[in-house]
A and B are shown apart, each in its own frame.
Chain A
Amino acid sequence: MIEAVPPGLILIAGACVVPFLRGPLRAAFMLALPLLGFWQLMQITPGTYVETRFFDYTLVLFQVDRLSLVFGYVFFLAVLISLIYAMHITDTVQQVAGLVYAGAAICAVFAGDLITLFAFWELTAIASVFLIWAVRTERSFKVGMRYLIIQVGSGVLLLSGAVLIVADTGSIAFGHIGIDSLGGKLILASFGIKAAFPLLHNWLQDSYPEATVTGTVFLSAFTTKLAIYALARGYAGTEMLILVGAAMTAFPIFYAVIENDLRRVLAYSLNNQLGFMVVGIGIGTELSLNGTVAHAVAHIIYKALLFMSMGAVLYRTGTMKGSELGGLYKSMPWTTGFCIVGAAAISGFPLFSGFVTKSMILSAAAEEGYWFTWAVLLFASAGVFHHSGIKIPFFAFFAHDSGKRVKEAPANMLLAMALAAALCIYIGVNPAPLYVILPFAVDYTPYTVGHVIASLQLLAFAALAFAVLIRYGFYPLETPSTNLDSDWIYRRLLPKWIAGLARGLRDAGAELDRWREASLRYLLGRVFHYHGPRSVMARTWPVGGAALWVMVLLGGYLVVYYL
């Protein structure tokens, strides 16, 4: 019986019922959905469960293996945490959108073929945009449109690639794809957009900070990690991804240092964390792939925790600008504490979740001899501590006192943060239960003396660097500003070019009109000259002249006749 329903459909079907329920009943119903889904996954074993015919092809709607199962677990966990965090809102649009979005992502994870994957890939895009539009401002509408165009574009690439692959191989099954065929390249581009590869990334930093307080928590969990899952299935061991991932870990942290909107700082650090996972996929060994999956699990939880803590600040103070915040530890002590746990987890402090997962990827890079990648990842580890570990808590809760005195976050938000924080610590202290569910058998010990001391040295001295720069006034002040990123290309450059092109075409058109008019005028002038009332052709000719012309004609005729 439980095998008959793809787990994501529980959320999507549940979302259809939500509008008809009210009050506590609705809340209880929504919370029951992820619990039911999680319970279902606990019962299920790897295998293929739901198939249906679609023209000549077999769509596999529910297929389970060890890779998809981990993502299924953590997605349901993320839904539960996000729902608790959003329990105080009564906006039906956000509730339905959140459930459909998460359900679509889970359906995509358990899809066994490219067509099913495509369908749910697009559904995540369409459902999630409502979490941005739910802010209900003109700004959010524009951001949502940009987000939607890019997300749907990713789906179109996926479908084009799938069509080419079907034409080549005759199979729509979603397994290893690789970049040898054109179809494989198109699908990589599609996954790359959602995984926020460098230069394809900016939809993330553009849109996530503009969603609602609770919407961002939903968004942070699913779209990008679905892409990581898809990359791990289709492109494991694709060496190019090592470079792409290393670039992803490094360049967003420069932006994160100078960004003023703290949720946007988190979006940049999300991008950086995805880089670690992409490197793991590129290396493609059992250790590195385990590392990628484990890091995705830890990341979903601590990133949600960080977005929740910043969301609570936004909810209470109405602003997310580092330049306007500070000193909130006095009025939001619990939120401060939870934020610090999330910060410690993302930074990879020993005893927190990031430590036991990120280190697998670094070790894999070192083992395979990628010294440059290893050094970049080390730099990115110091960098992520810098902006997510220190900057976020420091400028929101400490720094100079902004004078803001607000209430502590609502109880449901605190509960959700407490749950996530507990998981960050639990995984860090006791990684075995996480290691057991990874795709491959784990033979890895994160807690060695050398490793712990190395991590503590790296982090403590990165903190020291921050402290020295702040103390002696070298740290760039939080300033209200916009920083140019690749979205400048489609928000400024392209519109400018298109406007320029349109102006050029208009000018050329006007010139063409002028030329046509002038030549017409000339033509008419000549016609008037020869055929006008006073022209040669309009003159009256004498009879003698006419007789002469008749003679010439007849003479000509005679000559022709005799020839």
Chain B
Amino acid sequence: MKQGERKYWLDRPGSAGKVFWALCVLCGLLFFADALYEKHPTFAVEAWFGFYAIFGFFFSVGLVLSAKELRRLLMRKEDYYD
């Protein structure tokens, strides 16, 4: 950061944590929103409480972790083809 530059809220210590916890609260609210409406599922799994939330979370974690493992197989130096 350069001297005399404008201070940004996101740069403050603790701000990133606040964003994180706000997201957690939002997710909690959305999870329990399933109680508020009547579902019309095409597939049986859709009727599970919070199906989309659980699906979204676990498949995303799975995606990132398996992609990370794929690096062992696929990753080469930047100038590999040069």
Residues on A facing B (Cβ under 8 Å): 139, 253-255, 257-258, 329-330, 366-367, 371, 374, 378-379, 382-383, 386, 398, 401, 403, 405, 449-450, 453-469, 471, 474-476, 479-485, 491-492
Given the contacts A257-B67, A463-B23, A471-B20, A481 and B75 also touching, CB distance less than 8 Å? yes
State whether B64 touches A458 (Cβ < 8 A): no
Residue among B6, B38, B67, B80 with most chain A CB within 10 A: B67
Contacts A467-B20, A471-B20 given; indicate if A258 touches B74 (C-beta within 8 A).
yes
Asked if A483 contacts B63 (CB within 8 A), the reply is no
Chain A residues positioned under 8 Å from B30 (CB to CB): 453, 456-457, 460-461
Whether, in the assembled complex, B77 has its beta carbon less than 8 Å from a beta carbon of chain A, the answer is yes
Complex CA–CA separation, A258 to B75 (angstroms): 9
With beta carbons under 8 angstroms apart, the residue of B20, B38, B53, B81 that contacts A491 is B81
Is the pair A484, B76 in contact by a Cβ cutoff of 8 Å?
yes
Cβ of A253 and Cβ of B63 under 8 Å apart? Answer: yes
A367:B42 contact, CB within 8 angstroms = yes
| Complex partner residue of A461 from B43, B53, B64, CB under 8 angstroms | B53
From A492, which residue of chain B is reached at the shortest CB distance? Answer: B81
Q: A480 to B2, alpha carbons, bound, how many Å? A: 26
Chain B 44-81 residues near chain A, CB threshold 8 A: 46, 50, 52-61, 63-68, 70-71, 73-81
Q: How far is the CB of B66 from chain A (nearest CB, A)?
A: 7
Partner of A469, one of B31, B38, B61: B61
- Alpha-carbon distance between A455 and B51 when the two chains are bound, in angstroms: 11
A460-B30, A464-B27 are known contacts. Are A257 and B53 too (CB-CB below 8 A)? Answer: no
**Are A462 and B57 within 8 A (Cβ)?**
yes
Q: Of all chain A residues, which has the CB nearest B10?
A: A398
Residues of A within 8 A of B43 (CB): 366, 371, 374
Instruction: Tell me the nearest residue of chain A to B82, going by C-beta.
Output: A139
For the complex of A and B, the 5 pairs showing the least CB-CB separation, nearest first, are A465-B60, A461-B56, A257-B67, A457-B52, A458-B56
- Contact residues of B with A, CB < 8 Å? 1-2, 5-6, 8, 10-11, 16, 19-20, 23-24, 26-27, 30-31, 33-34, 37-40, 42-43, 46, 50, 52-61, 63-68, 70-71, 73-82
Given A378-B55, A401-B11, A484 and B64 touching (CB < 8 A)? no
Bound CA span A450–B40, Å = 8
Q: A383-B63, A476-B68 are in contact. List 4 more A-B contacts (CB 8 A).
A: A255-B67, A258-B70, A460-B53, A481-B77
A383 touches B27 (CB 8 A): no
Cα-based distance from A386 to B82 in the complex (angstroms): 31
A139: nearest residue on chain B (CB-CB)? B82
Are B1 and A386 in touch, CB under 8 angstroms? no
In the complex, residue of chain A having the shortest beta-carbon distance to the beta carbon of B73? A484
Question: Do the beta carbons of B37 and A449 come within 8 Å of each other?
Answer: yes
Contact A457 B75 (CB under 8 A): no
In the complex, which residues of chain A have a beta carbon less than 8 angstroms from the beta carbon of B74?
255, 258, 483-485
20 A-B residue pairings within 8 Å (CB atoms): A253-B67, A255-B74, A258-B75, A330-B5, A366-B42, A378-B52, A378-B59, A450-B37, A453-B33, A457-B33, A461-B27, A461-B54, A464-B24, A464-B57, A467-B20, A469-B61, A476-B64, A480-B78, A482-B75, A483-B71
Residues in A neighbouring B81, C-beta threshold 8 A:
482, 491-492
Chain A residues whose CB sits within 8 angstroms of the CB of B56 once the complex forms: 382, 457-462, 465
Contacts of A379 in B (CB 8 A): 55, 59, 63
Given A405-B2, A482-B77, A483-B76, A460 and B23 touching (CB < 8 A)? yes
The answer for the CA separation of A366 and B27 in the assembled complex, in Å, is 26
- In the complex, which residue of chain B has the Cβ closest to the Cβ of A331? B5
Given A450-B37, A464-B27, verify A469-B64 contact (CB < 8 Å): yes
Contacts of A258 in B (CB 8 A): 67-68, 70-71, 74-75
A482 / chain B contacts, CB cutoff of 8 Å: 75-81
Cα-based distance from A141 to B42 in the complex (angstroms): 51
B52: chain A residues at CB < 8 Å are 378, 453-455, 457-458, 461
Q: How far is the CA of A468 from the CA of B56 in the complex (A)?
A: 13
> Chain B nearest CB: distance from A526 CB in Å?
56
Select B59's contact among A382, A398, A454, beta carbons within 8 Å.
Answer: A382
Q: Is the CB of B27 within 8 A of A479?
A: no
What separation, in Å, do the CA atoms of A139 and B81 have in the docked complex?
Answer: 10
B29–chain A nearest beta-carbon distance, Å: 9
Interchain nearest-CB distance for A466 vs B (Å): 7
- A460→B8 contact, CB < 8 A: no
| Complex: A463 Cα to B57 Cα, angstroms | 8
**Given A457-B50, A482-B81 in contact, is the A462-B39 Cβ separation under 8 Å?**
no
State in angstroms the CA–CA spacing of A227 and B4 once bound together. Answer: 53
Residue of A254, A455, A469 near B66 (CB, 8 A) is A254
CA A233 to CA B1, docked complex, whole Å: 55
**Complex: chain B residue closest to A260, CB-CB:** B78
With A456-B30, A481-B78 in contact, do A257 and B63 touch (Cβ < 8 Å)? yes
In the bound complex, CA of A459 to CA of B37 (Å): 19
Nearest residue (CB) in A for B79 is A482
C-alpha gap A120/B39 in the complex (Å): 49
Contacts A366-B42, A366-B43, A453-B37: A465 and B11 contacting too (C-beta < 8 A)? Answer: no
With A257-B64, A450-B37: A465-B78 Cβ-Cβ less than 8 Å: no
Contacts of A479 in B (CB 8 A): 75
**Nearest A residue to B2, CB-CB:** A405
Q: Judge whether B63 and A466 touch: CB under 8 Å.
A: no
In the bound complex, do residue B23 and residue A464 qualify as a contact, i.e. CB atoms below 8 Å apart? yes
> Nearest Cβ distance between residue B65 and chain A, in whole angstroms?
7
